Chains A and B, each alone.
Chain A
Amino acid sequence: QVQLVESGGGLVKPGGSLRLSCATSGFTFSDHYMSWIRQAPGKGLEWLAYISGGSTYIKYSDSLKGRFTISRDNAKYSVYLQMNSLTAEDTSVYYCARGRFGANYFDFWGQGALVTVSS
């Protein structure tokens, strides 16, 4: 069955960096685009970044101001999110999500990784 498991979350000081990983299984990873989506405590969902199956097409939310980088390793069935210059406003649960074939819907999600930015 399809599984997505995030790791790498935790407590980080303002200005710090963190790298999230999302390990997947149960499907042909390279056939699907992947996205990262976050949810601040008690708030709604915010799409952050997208990467195509071959990493040839990458898009980001303008709100990230170039601080985050999405990447993937198809051999490891994993997608990553490098987060730099973190602020308290980045405190959220971060989800990786699989793109449904042929459309920009998210049909499978990980359990989420909590990132807390605090001194």
Chain B
Amino acid sequence: DIQMTQSPSFVSASIGDRVTISCRASQDISNWLAWYQQKPGKAPKLLIYGASNLQSEVPSRFSGSESGRDFTLTISSLQPDDFATYYCQQAYTFPFTFGPGTTVDI
């Protein structure tokens, strides 16, 4: 199985901060990478697919990039609605696997 790791596990940030979250795949997944946002008690929400494509209706302050097996989610200017846990997911092959998550908190 492809293992996904994320760093950091926890980010303490303030409104307006630029936040970056990293995700690494244990093997090549090309650009088959998605990012999800999850708030407590809610289902995850797709933010980014194909490593860098913004899902419909997702604010443009979210962006994704890739470099080999390393992927990055960037929030350019943190807003109150962005405090949540973020997961990466590889969509390259079965079984689909998720990273352990990064919590963005105040």
**Could you list which residues of chain A lie within 8 angstroms of chain B, going by C-beta atoms?**
35, 44-47, 50, 59, 61-62, 95, 100, 103-112
A44 touching B49 by the CB < 8 A rule? no
Residue on A nearest B100 in the bound complex, by CB: A44
A111 touching B50 by the CB < 8 A rule? no
A107 touching B50 by the CB < 8 A rule? no
Indicate with 1 or 0, residue by residue over B75-106, a CB within 8 angstroms of chain A CB atoms.
00000000000010101101111111100000
B32 touching A103 by the CB < 8 A rule? yes
Interface residues of B, CB < 8 Å — how many?
24
Compute how far the CA of A86 lies from the CA of B6 in the bound complex, rounded to whole angstroms.
30
Sample of 18 further A-B pairs with CB below 8 A, known A45-B89, A45-B101, A103-B91: A44-B98, A44-B100, A44-B101, A45-B87, A47-B95, A50-B94, A50-B96, A62-B1, A62-B95, A100-B46, A103-B32, A103-B49, A104-B32, A105-B89, A106-B36, A107-B55, A108-B46, A111-B42
Distance in Å: Cβ of A74 to nearest Cβ of chain B: 22
* Chain A residues whose C-beta falls within 8 Å of the C-beta of B101 in the assembled complex: 44-45
**A61-B95 contact in complex given A44-B100, A104-B32, A107-B55, C-beta closer than 8 Å:** yes
Q: Which are the 5 A-B pairs with shortest beta-carbon distances?
A: A104-B91, A109-B43, A47-B96, A45-B98, A105-B49
Compute how far the CA of A62 lies from the CA of B1 in the bound complex, rounded to whole angstroms.
10
Distance in Å: Cβ of A56 to nearest Cβ of chain B: 15
Residue on B nearest A107 in the bound complex, by CB: B46
Could you list some 22 contacts between A and B, CB below 8 A?
A44-B98, A44-B100, A44-B101, A45-B44, A45-B98, A47-B97, A50-B94, A59-B95, A62-B1, A62-B95, A95-B43, A95-B44, A103-B49, A104-B32, A105-B49, A105-B89, A106-B36, A107-B49, A109-B43, A110-B43, A111-B42, A111-B43
* Chain B residues whose C-beta falls within 8 Å of the C-beta of A35 in the assembled complex: 96
- The verdict on B21 contacting chain A, using a C-beta distance below 8 Å, is no
